[in-house]
C-alpha cells in the first residue's frame, strides 16, 4: 500500500526507527536523516575489532518493559537474551548489592534480620516524613536515614550530577527501588534482556522497508527545513533547543566520558560495578562481555565512566532535571507548541530522561495517531 504521503524523520535512534517503521507500514514514504554515521542513536552497539566483544558505544543499555505491545513490536526485529541486570557497588572498601535490598541491609548492619525486623530498624533511622520533600537529600533521609544515604548515594549523586543533593529534585530518588526482600535484580519488569544480535542490528531491521530511505551523515538544521519550504510533516528527535537554534540559551545536560581498558579473563565478574565514594572520580565501570553471558571471549573490554557538564560540542546524555516552570524549558516548550507541522518526540526533543520502552511506546502512539489524521506536537506523556 502506498499513499503518496511523505514525511521526514530526524534522528535514527529508537524513536526515529519506530516512527519510520510504523508510518512506512501504513503506506507513508519516510526519509530518515541521521547526523551520525550509524543508526541506533545512543543505543548503538558494535563489536570491538580486537576482542570481538559487543560494546554499548554510548554506555550500558538493558531493555526492560511491562508494556506487552512494545515487546511484541520489537520481537518482530530481534530476539532478546534472558540477561538480568544485577548491579554491585563499591563503597567504603566493600562490594554491596544495589538497589538496596535485604542483603545490602544485613551486610550494612552486620545482622541476619528478617524483612519485618529490618523495616522496624530502618523506621528508627529515618528522618520524619514530610509531605513533599523539597530536594533529593531530604527525600533520601526520609527513605533510608543518614548512614545508608551517605554510603551509597551522597557521593554518587554529586559525581553523577555535579551538584549537591540539596539542589536536585526529590523526584530523582523517588524512582530508585528499595526492597525488603532478596531480589537483587536492578529491574523488575516482566520482560527484560538484550537484543541477541545487538541494538544496532535490531534498528537496522526496523528500517528495512521499501518506503524508508535512510540518509546517514545527514545533519538537519531547522533552517534547512524551512529553506526547503517544508511541506510534509517533520518528526524531530534531536535536541529541543537545537531546533530553535538555541535562541534563548542551551538546556543543561550532563555528558559522559569513557576510558577504555582491556584485560585478560574477567575483570570484575559483572556487567556494571558502581563506585559510590566521592574520592573515586568515576561513577561506574562497565565490563561489556557480561551483557552476553552465552558468548566466550578470552579478553575483556571495560569502560570507566565519568560524568560532567555538557559543553556545546559534547554529546548530550542526561538532561539536568528542570521543572516545567523553568523559564528556559518553558520557552522552548511554548515555541514547540507554536510550531506547525512538527512533532517533537524522543528523549532529546522532549528534554526528559526516558527509558527505551517509554520512547518506543510514545513513538507507537504518535505514529498511529498521525496515520489516523491527528498531528501532535508532543506525545501525551510530555504533559
Ligand X SMILES: Cc1cc2nc3c(=O)[nH]c(=O)nc-3n(C[C@H](O)[C@H](O)[C@H](O)COP(=O)(O)OP(=O)(O)OC[C@H]3O[C@@H](n4cnc5c(N)ncnc54)[C@H](O)[C@@H]3O)c2cc1C
Q: Which is nearer to ligand X, 136 or 272 (CB)?
A: 272
From the list 30-38, 177-185, 269-277, 324-332, the region that binds ligand X by CB under 6 A is 30-38
Cell 535484580 belongs to residue: 185
Name the active-site residue from 45, 241, 287, 305: 305
Name the active-site residue from 182, 308, 353, 380: 353
CA distances for 108 relative to 125, 156, 185, 310, angstroms: 13, 18, 19, 35
Residue from 5, 25, 31, 36 touching ligand X (CB under 6 A): that is 36
C-alpha cell at 133: 520533600
Vertex 105 angle, CA 100 and 106, to 5°: 145
Q: CA neighbours within 13 Å on the CB side: how many for 158?
A: 14
Q: Which is nearer to ligand X, 149 or 236 (CB)?
A: 236
Separation of alpha carbons 53 and 59, rounded Å: 14
318 touches 253 (CB < 8 A): yes
Which of positions 124-163 make contact with ligand X (CB under 6 A)? none
Q: Is 154 helix (H, G, I), strand (E, B) or coil?
A: helix
Which of positions 203-222 make contact with ligand X (CB under 6 A)? 219-220
CA distances for 220 relative to 216, 235, 236, angstroms: 11, 12, 10
CB of 132 to ligand X, least distance (A): 27
Query: Per-residue x/- marks for ligand X, 297-336, CB under 6 A?
Result: --------------------xx------------------
Residues in the chain: 383
**Is 304 known to be catalytic?**
no
132 touches 142 (CB < 8 A): no
From the list 33-41, 123-131, 170-178, 281-289, the region that binds ligand X by CB under 6 A is 33-41
The verdict on 200 binding ligand X (CB under 6 A) reads no
Q: Which is nearer to ligand X, 121 or 352 (CB)?
A: 352
Query: Per-residue x/- marks for ligand X, 220-259, CB under 6 A?
Result: x----------------xx---------------------
Cis peptide leading into residue 99 (ω within 30°):
yes
Q: Which is nearer to ligand X, 60 or 99 (CB)?
A: 60
Beta partners for 338? none
Which of positions 48-107 make contact with ligand X (CB under 6 A)? 59-63
Our measurement of the distance from residue 165's CA atom to the centroid of its chain's CA atoms, rounded to an integer in Å, reads 21
Q: Which is nearer to ligand X, 16 or 193 (CB)?
A: 16
Where on the chain is the footprint of ligand X (CB under 6 A)?
A: 10-16, 33-36, 41-43, 59-63, 219-220, 237-238, 317-318, 346-348, 354-357, 359
Amino acid at each position: 500500500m502506498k499513499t503518496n504521503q511523505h514525511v521526514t524523520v530526524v534522528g535514527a535512534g529508537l524513536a526515529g526507527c519506530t516512527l519510520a517503521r510504523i508510518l512506512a507500514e501504513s503506506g507513508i514514504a519516510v526519509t530518515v536523516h541521521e547526523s551520525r554515521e550509524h543508526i541506533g542513536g545512543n543505543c548503538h552497539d558494535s563489536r570491538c575489532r580486537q576482542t570481538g566483544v559487543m560494546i554499548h558505544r554510548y554506555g550500558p543499555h538493558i531493555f526492560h518493559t511491562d508494556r506487552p505491545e512494545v515487546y511484541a513490536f520489537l520481537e518482530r526485529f530481534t530476539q532478546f537474551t534472558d540477561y538480568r541486570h544485577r548491579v554491585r557497588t563499591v563503597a567504603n572498601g566493600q562490594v554491596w548489592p544495589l538497589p538496596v535490598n535485604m542483603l545490602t541491609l544485613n551486610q550494612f548492619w552486620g545482622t541476619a534480620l528478617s524483612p519485618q525486623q529490618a523495616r522496624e530498624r530502618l523506621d528508627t533511622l529515618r528522618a520524619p516524613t514530610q509531605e513533599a520533600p523539597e530536594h533529593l537529600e531530604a527525600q533520601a533521609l526520609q527513605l533510608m536515614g543518614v548512614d545508608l544515604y551517605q554510603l551509597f548515594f551522597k557521593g554518587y549523586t554529586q559525581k553523577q550530577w555535579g551538584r549537591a543533593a540539596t539542589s536536585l529534585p526529590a523526584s530523582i530518588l523517588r524512582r530508585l527501588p528499595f526492597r525488603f526482600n532478596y531480589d537483587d535484580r536492578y529491574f523488575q519488569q516482566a520482560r527484560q534482556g538484550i537484543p541477541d544480535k545487538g541494538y544496532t542490528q535490531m534498528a537496522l531491521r526496523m528500517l528495512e522497508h521499501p518506503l524508508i530511505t535512510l540518509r546517514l551523515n545527514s545533519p538537519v538544521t531547522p533552517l534547512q527545513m524551512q529553506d526547503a519550504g517544508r511541506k510534509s510533516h517533520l518528526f524531530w528527535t534531536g535536541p529541543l533547543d537545537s531546533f530553535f537554534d538555541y535562541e534563548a540559551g542551551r538546556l543543561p545536560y550532563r555528558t559522559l566520558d569513557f576510558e577504555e581498558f582491556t584485560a585478560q579473563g574477567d575483570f570484575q565478574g559483572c556487567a556494571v560495578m558502581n563506585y559510590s565514594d566521592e574520592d573515586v572520580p568515576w561513577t561506574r565501570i562497565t565490563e561489556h562481555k557480561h551483557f552476553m553471558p552465552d558468548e566466550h571471549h578470552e579478553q575483556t573490554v571495560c569502560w570507566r565512566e565519568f560524568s560532567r557538564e555538557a559543553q556545546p560540542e559534547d554529546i548530550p546524555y542526561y538532561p539536568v532535571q528542570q521543572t516545567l516552570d523553568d523559564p528556559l524549558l518553558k520557552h522552548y516548550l511554548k515555541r514547540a507548541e507554536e510550531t506547525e507541522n512538527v512533532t517533537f518526540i524522543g528523549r532529546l526533543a522532549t528534554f526528559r530522561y526516558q527509558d527505551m520502552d517509554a520512547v518506543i511506546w510514545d513513538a507507537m502512539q504518535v505514529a498511529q495517531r498521525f496515520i489516523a489524521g491527528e498531528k501532535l506536537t508532543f506525545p501525551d506523556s510530555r504533559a
